Amino acid sequence: MESLLYSLLAGTSTALGAIVLMLFGSPGKKTMALLLGFAGGIMIAVSVFELMPESLELGSMMVLIIGFVLGCGLMYVLDRLVPHAHMSESDNLMLENADTPQSTQKTVLRTGYLIFFGIALHNVPEGLAIGAGVESSPELGLAIAIAIGLHNIPEGLAVAGPLKAGGLSNLKVLLFTLGAGLMTPVGAAIGLILFGISEVLIGGALAFAAGAMIYIVHDELIPQSNRMDSHTANIGFIIGLLLGFMLII
């Protein structure tokens, strides 16, 4: 049950992104860069200092390598099949030009639906990562959930921005972003079924989680944050890495 609770908290953080958008508008680039960099640092720390050593202890080097490659591979396949859009300059333009002609609003709304679909699918492996962490220890599961929750706030903005600019009401925007986030506990529920079989499988699942999280950081968080403000992104990453290390040790 802990994995479902933690994954629910991490998943619903996407709704925080929508709430921030409704209350304050689109955050500045430096704020986004700091948040994305910080989330990336936390996720790297959890992956390298906790998930991979724990995987090696429960399984073997071969189990670690196979699980890690599978985690990276799944995220790559998802990116190829369902491109994972993010909060970027184009999203900011959508927000700044919400009062657009109806035909343009329909295009923006369609983009919002595609982003929602992509992020919802990408959230399933994140739930698996939380479930694997909880199977190892509740503390590790909570650390992964916090890292993923921080990462999900900007994703909520990425979903909410074009949906709001496309003409949806605040309630519908909130429900869509929440729905995307709730795919995280779906992944955790799948993990509950799979990870209780053997310690070796749990070890592989931890390596899988590490691979998936490191792929997310390298493919999404670092490029996105550097495009917004590289120096601020680096500060956030360093703070996140050190804080993550201190929390684990």
What are the φ/ψ torsions at residue 185 (nearest 5 degrees)?
-65, -25
The answer to whether residue 22 sits within a structural domain is no
* Distance in angstroms (rounded) separating the CA atoms of residues 178 and 180: 5
The answer to whether residue 122 sits within a structural domain is yes
pLDDT for 27 equals 66
Higher pLDDT, 69 or 98: 69
* Distance in angstroms (rounded) separating the CA atoms of residues 44 and 244: 8
What is the number of structural domains in the chain? 1
Model pLDDT for residues 186-227, shown as the tens digit of each residue: 888 887 777 666 778 878 888 888 898 898 888 878 888 898
Model pLDDT for residues 123-182, shown as the tens digit of each residue: 887 788 888 778 777 888 888 888 888 878 877 877 787 787 777 888 998 999 999 889
The answer to whether residue 236 sits within a structural domain is yes
107: pLDDT confidence band, cut at 50, 70 and 90? low
233: pLDDT confidence band, cut at 50, 70 and 90? very high
Closest Cα partner for 7 from 146, 119, 137, 136?
146
Distances (CA, A) of 247 to 13, 42, 50, 58, 150: 21, 10, 10, 21, 15
The answer to whether residue 24 sits within a structural domain is no
pLDDT for 103 equals 57
Closest Cα partner for 105 from 19, 166, 164?
166
Q: Is the pLDDT of residue 98 over 60?
A: no
What average pLDDT does the segment 82-97 reach? Answer: 50
The answer to whether residue 181 sits within a structural domain is yes
Domain hosting 177: range is 2-17+29-248
Asked whether 149 and 10 are in contact (CB, 8 A), the reply is yes
The answer to whether residue 221 sits within a structural domain is yes
The answer to whether residue 231 sits within a structural domain is yes
Closest Cα partner for 59 from 243, 221, 206?
206
The answer to whether residue 58 sits within a structural domain is yes
